[in-house]
Amino acid sequence: MSSGMKSHETTFGDATMEKPHSVYGTFKVKMVITREPWWLFLKIFLGIFIAFLIAYTSFYIHANHIDSRFALSVGAIFAAIGNKYIVDSSLPESTTFTPVDILHGITLFFIFLVVASSAYALRLVKKRNIRKRIGLIWFSLRSS
């Protein structure tokens, strides 16, 4: 901390002063402020990470249970979009594409990939079932 006098070569808008010179007292305080940015990052983006993990867990459900797989993925999409609105309301407005927007976009893209891969897995399962049925019909026709 320090104090002193500071002279300014201006009238600071005072029209009654003839010469633009003013002296004012000063008080200086030097403070060092630190913060841990990882806690803030984790606090803001924990919801988006959990949304992706929810979508990712759909890979552990067999492709025959397609309702459960799509329900988890759609729930993850809603969670990610909800997290985006919550994070956007807590951060200052910006007209540029920020890293927060990039992270949300990447997460939504990967959740979409989870949905697309679930749809593709369903298609493969249905093709296999159709081939099995055609094979059974063909086998039964040849046996008769």
Its domain, for residue 76, covers 37-143
12 found inside a domain: no
Q: Which pLDDT does position 42 carry in this prediction?
A: 85
69 found inside a domain: yes
117 found inside a domain: yes
Tokens representing 144 are 């008769």
State how many domains the chain has. 1
116 found inside a domain: yes
CATH number assigned to the domain comprising residue 94: 1.20.58.390
Please indicate, yes or no, whether the overall pTM of this predicted structure exceeds 0.75: no
109 found inside a domain: yes
pLDDT in tens, 110-144: 999 999 888 888 888 877 776 665 555 555 556 65
132 found inside a domain: yes
